[in-house]
Structure 1
Amino acid sequence: MDADLTTGERIRVLRESRGMSRPVLAQLCGRGVEWLKKIESGERELTSHPLLLQLAAALQVADLSVITGTNTPSAAATAPLGRLAHPGMPDIWAAVMTRSLTAAPAGPVDPAALQGRVDQTWRLWHTSARNRTEVGALLPGLIRDGEHAVRTLDGEQRRRAQVALSDVYRLTGQATAYVAPAELAWVVADRALSAAQAADNPAAIAAASWNLGNILRETAYPEEALRVVEEAADLIRPHLDGAPEDWRGIYGALQLHAAVTAAREGREGDAWRYWGRGDQVAKNLPVAYVHPSAVFGRANVDFHAVSVATDLKKSARAIGLADDIDPDAMPSVERRARLWVEVARGHLQRGDRTAALHVMQMAHRVGAETVSYTPSARTVAADLWRNSPRSMRAETSRLAEAVGITTAG
């Protein structure tokens, strides 16, 4: 990078070197294209430190001095490398990426007790409005204890520890989505699947594949995502007769995953076919059944119908489906918040910004961190703030600020 380049010129060079368009980078920062154009041209000075951090994260730059061209302590601070920043990431990164290759001088780990802690943390993920923060604080200890258990146990005890460790890494993938660097996301997904395969447990393999499918879909590999979840479904299907309910639950979750993946690709027939399979699984489970981690059940099948319709740009159908849903039937706060985000997207597709704002405010009240750390939710909030009429500006600005989208600077 030429030392004489201005901050704006550096941003432009970094953006172009990554093959990123100006609208994409502006959207990742929650700003408009004209704002970024003025920054890059030098017409507008960039003085906001939070905006510098957002730009660094979006451009995958670890040192802000690469953007600013200065070496002052504040400018040289390490920036987060995920799409969004969360204060819990450094400790999780350390636990994942500095895995010891030898047994730690600690006492034995009971795999049943470890699994109990993991299950409890999954419940926290689904019930807390601050799930990323609260779960993120527990993950480093769970990761280290899980790794210690599989290194020190043998036989059936070790296989149980492998299942628990796979669950830990699946939860890590959920809790760090969009805030983790890409390399950590892939490491976590791979370790979850490897631990499940080492345990030789079809349900654990299917659950880890569901998690890997999420990573593949969110990183623009939809065909690979479909392949993974379909293979996982084929693997577990022969074991479903007489299997525990959770085995059928994760099989149903794989079908819903495939439905959304196909919908995002505009494959309407495939999307509803996969959804229908998930719907049939739910009909064959008790009405009140909910999978402990994937939250598959009757309510989640209905929630996914809204997501499929929204992703297919069938906004009228999505809103109609949402009208018939009882959100309280879903025990997961995180999933309820995401439902309202999907409904808000549907209202935006129809041009009804008033309804979209109202629903987004509901989503934020239900699960503040789910909204703040989900790109689709932030996109809706940014769109409302930028494009709503003057009469809504105060409310849309408050929503944008609450979500973490900078509206000044």
Structure 2
Amino acid sequence: MAEAHREARRIGEVIRQARVLQRRSQKDVAAALGYHQSKVSRLEGGRGTEDIRVLRAVAQELKIPAQQLGLATAVPDASATDPEADDMHRRTFLAASIAALAPPAASAAAHDDLVQALLPGLSAAGTDAPLDTIALRERVGTARKLFYTCDYTELERTLPGLIADLRLASSSTTDSDVLSALLATTYQTSTSLLLKQHDQGNAWLAVGRAMAEAERSGDPIVLASSVRVEAHVLAREKHTAQAVTLVRHTADQLTGSYDRRSPKHLAAVGLLLLRGVTAASGGGDRAATEEFLAEAKEVARYVSLDQPDAWANFSPTNVALHELSALVAFGDSGLALQAARPLMRRHIPVPERRAALWVETARAYSQQGRLSDGYQALRIAETCAAQDVRRPAVRDLVADMAARDRRRTLPELHHFSRQLGVPA
């Protein structure tokens, strides 16, 4: 019986997410199907999902793949549908869904390999892949894409071998400046991943390596990017004043004459300024936050890069996302939600940024005590980047929201909390 209830709630949630993502009301969907709004409401609440014909109609209207509702994928003749077969299929789907939503078991071995690769000496094993600069550059680009598409599990498996190969190549070639730049970028990516995992201790190790290689490369763009991740580590450790000073000092060396700068230079400067926004707002410094935002908006006039590669994430849209995040940090939840609404209608190609929008929206709702709306925003974030929603910062948010629902009026929130391994 409990399994059937969980299945019904899961199917209802799939229907609700599909409707919300299409920005349609329950009344609109019901009218299209010839039902009363209460039927759609009941379905989304996990009631009435045993009616297979209704589920098929909803799946067709909302363009939900049949298997997501536990239905057979191909039915030549609807009148010949076998309810028992569909019911069994739904149960199988439920089990798979729960397994997929459960927090993946942390791969201690992969994490240890990454940390080992950050230590001095060529301790990590190479991959026997080609060590020419072109091939290594492509692999670094692939690693960056794994980060921006939030495939953190694969990224953690990829980084140790990539670091080992880059270090080996840099020790046996005259193309050392280019390889130092690639190695710095890889260490930056390692730092960002470790921060996502809340492993600040090893993030310090990674960012130290990134700064050293950036200085060896002599490339101001790579150096700016390394400073950005160092400021991130400082801010995460509550050294916000130092982070703000570091960003301001470095930006002063790079800003100006934007119309004559390369796109990569502008993107690096813009991302550095956005890190300043995060650090300053986290430290409660409104003046510095507004200063960094104003400069970032000026840079964004000259560049817009939204592809998930090494220079992704800087564009007017990302500036707006950081402005939203700053409003949340200052507790200005009403203004934050106003800022979020137009962003929900924009195309944001980078999954990590799409998830960030909905997570910050959830934080704003949570600040207002609108736990149901916050929960719905988090489930949308999950559809954008499932692994990103399972990082510690978001899990803490879910646990806090569940703890505040003392009367347990939102069982779906508590179920989600348990799925993330953080029951209130």
TM-score, structure 2 normalization: 0.69
In the alignment, which of 224, 229, 235 is matched to residue 253 of structure 2?
A: 235
Aligned: 1:127 with 2:149:
yes
Q: Structure 1 residues 181 and 291, CA, compared in 2 at 3 Å: closer, same or farther?
A: closer
Q: Distance in 1 between matches of 2:404 and 2:260?
A: 54
Listed as ranges, the matches of 1:320-339 within 5 Å are: 320-326=338-344, 329-339=347-357
After superposition, give the CA deviation of every residue in 1:201-236 in whole Å (9 maximum; x if it has no partner): 000000010011111110111111112222221233
Q: Structure 1 residues 183 and 99, CA, compared in 2 at 3 Å: closer, same or farther?
A: farther
Q: Distance in 2 between matches of 1:225 and 1:211?
A: 10
Q: Distance in 2 between matches of 1:104 and 1:116?
A: 16
Q: Structure 1 residues 221 and 105, CA, compared in 2 at 3 Å: closer, same or farther?
A: closer
Q: Structure 1 residues 153 and 329, CA, compared in 2 at 3 Å: closer, same or farther?
A: same
Give the conservation status (yes or no) of the 8 Å contact 1:108–1:152: no
Q: Distance in 2 between matches of 1:108 and 1:120?
A: 15
Aligned: 1:147 with 2:147:
no
Q: Structure 1 residues 269 and 107, CA, compared in 2 at 3 Å: closer, same or farther?
A: closer
Deviates more, 1:165-174 or 1:265-274: 265-274
Aligned partner of 1:385 in structure 2 is 402
Aligned partner of 2:118 in structure 1 is 96
Aligned partner of 1:165 in structure 2 is 183
Q: Distance in 2 between matches of 1:380 and 1:400?
A: 10
Question: How many residue pairs are counted as aligned between the two chains?
Answer: 319
Q: Distance in 2 between matches of 1:238 and 1:151?
A: 36
The Cα of 1:285 is off from its aligned counterpart by 1.9
Give the conservation status (yes or no) of the 8 Å contact 2:306–2:349: no
Rg larger in 1 or in 2?
A: 2
Q: Any gaps of 5 or more consecutive residues in structure 1?
A: 1-83
Q: Distance in 2 between matches of 1:105 and 1:221?
A: 38
Q: Distance in 2 between matches of 1:237 and 1:147?
A: 32
Q: Secondary structure at the residue paired with 2:349?
A: coil
Listed as ranges, the matches of 1:196-215 within 5 Å are: 196-215=214-233
Q: Distance in 2 between matches of 1:287 and 1:106?
A: 33
Aligned partner of 1:109 in structure 2 is 131
Give the conservation status (yes or no) of the 8 Å contact 2:334–2:364: yes
The Cα of 1:366 is off from its aligned counterpart by 1.8
Aligned partner of 2:386 in structure 1 is 368
After superposition, give the CA deviation of every residue in 1:243-279 in whole Å (9 maximum; x if it has no partner): 3201101101111111121111222222122111111
Q: Secondary structure at the residue paired with 2:195?
A: coil
Deviates more, 1:261-270 or 1:133-142: 261-270
Q: Distance in 2 between matches of 1:103 and 1:374?
A: 29
The one-letter amino acid of 1:117's match is R
The Cα of 1:101 is off from its aligned counterpart by 8.1
In the alignment, which of 356, 370, 375 is matched to residue 357 of structure 1?
A: 375
The one-letter amino acid of 2:317's match is A
Give the conservation status (yes or no) of the 8 Å contact 1:127–1:331: no
Q: Structure 1 residues 354 and 99, CA, compared in 2 at 3 Å: closer, same or farther?
A: same
Q: Secondary structure at the residue paired with 1:308?
A: helix
Q: Distance in 1 between matches of 2:278 and 2:316?
A: 16
Q: Structure 1 residues 104 and 345, CA, compared in 2 at 3 Å: closer, same or farther?
A: closer
Listed as ranges, the matches of 1:38-77 within 5 Å are: none
Q: Distance in 2 between matches of 1:103 and 1:122?
A: 21
The one-letter amino acid of 2:153's match is T
The one-letter amino acid of 2:419's match is A
Deviates more, 1:218-227 or 1:327-336: 327-336
Give the conservation status (yes or no) of the 8 Å contact 1:309–1:318: yes
> Which structure is richer in relative contact order (CA contacts within 8 A, separation 6 or more)?
1
Give the conservation status (yes or no) of the 8 Å contact 1:371–1:378: yes
Q: Structure 1 residues 188 and 371, CA, compared in 2 at 3 Å: closer, same or farther?
A: same
Q: Distance in 2 between matches of 1:338 and 1:363?
A: 7
Q: Distance in 1 between matches of 2:382 and 2:294?
A: 30
Give the conservation status (yes or no) of the 8 Å contact 1:166–1:204: yes
Give the conservation status (yes or no) of the 8 Å contact 2:328–2:360: yes
TM-score, structure 1 normalization: 0.72
How many percent identity over aligned positions? 23
Q: Secondary structure at the residue paired with 2:409?
A: helix
After superposition, give the CA deviation of every residue in 1:303-345 in whole Å (9 maximum; x if it has no partner): 1111011111111000000011146522221121122111111
Q: Secondary structure at the residue paired with 1:325?
A: helix
The one-letter amino acid of 2:132's match is D
Aligned partner of 2:364 in structure 1 is 346
Q: Secondary structure at the residue paired with 2:260?
A: coil
